[in-house]
Chains A and B, each alone.
Chain A
Amino acid sequence: DIQMTQSPSSLSASVGDRVTITCRASQSISSFLNWYQQKPGKAPNLLIYAASSLQSGVPSRFSGSGSGTDFTLTISSLQPEDFATYYCQQSYSTPYTFGQGAKLEIK
């Protein structure tokens, strides 16, 4: 299985901050990397697919980059509704695997 490792696992930031979350794959996954946002008690919501493509309806302050083994999710200017847990997921090969999550909290 491909292991996905996110860092940091938790972070605190303020409204308006620029935030970056990284995700590393245990082997090359090309650009088969997706990012999700999950709020408490809710299902995950797809933000970014194929490493850098913004899902329809997702605000443009979210962006993704990377290829191979190293990827980043960037939120350019944090809004109050962005405080949540973020997961990366590889869809390069089955079994699909997720990172452990990065919890973004209000400073």
Chain B
Amino acid sequence: QVQLQESGPGLVKPSETLSLTCTVSGGSISSNYWSWIRQPPGKGLEWIGYIYYSGSINYNPSLKSRVTISVDTSKNQFSLKLSSVTAADTAVYYCARSVFGLDPWGQGTLVTVSS
């Protein structure tokens, strides 16, 4: 079955750019929508945005000015970049497939913003 795995640095300095990659295995990325979601420690879930394999994108307006989501079908991966990060961007970042609901999810990766 389809599995997702996030990867990227666990520590990012304030004002820099957070970069994460989600690798899809067990299926092709060339179908469905693919989302990024984050969860600050001890808090709720926030949808960041999604991308369709063809490149169609939708971002959360609350983050739109700082977010870029892209897809690399040759590697079966999609990526997240979040610029000008602050401590408020410290969170577990998840990737997930968007079909009927968000399923499956990656295991998540904690990104801490600190100098």
Contact = CB atoms under 8 A, between A and B. Distances in A.
Interface string B56-77: 0011111000000000000000
A43 B94 contact: yes
B105 A45 contact: yes
Interface residues of B, number: 23
A50 B99 CA distance: 11
Contacts of A34: 100-102
Contacts of B104: 46
B107 A44 contact: no
B112 to A, nearest CB: 16
Given A43-B94, A49-B100, A96 B47 contact: yes
A95 B61 contact: yes
A contacts with B: majority SS = loop
A62 interface: no
Q: Size class of A's contact patch?
A: 20 to 34
Nearest to A85: B44
A30 B33 CA distance: 21
Contacts of B44: 87, 98-101
B105 A95 contact: no
A48 B101 CA distance: 8
Cβ-closest 6 pairs across A and B: A34-B101, A46-B103, A49-B101, A43-B105, A49-B100, A96-B47
Interface of B: 35, 44-47, 50, 58-62, 94, 96, 98, 100-108
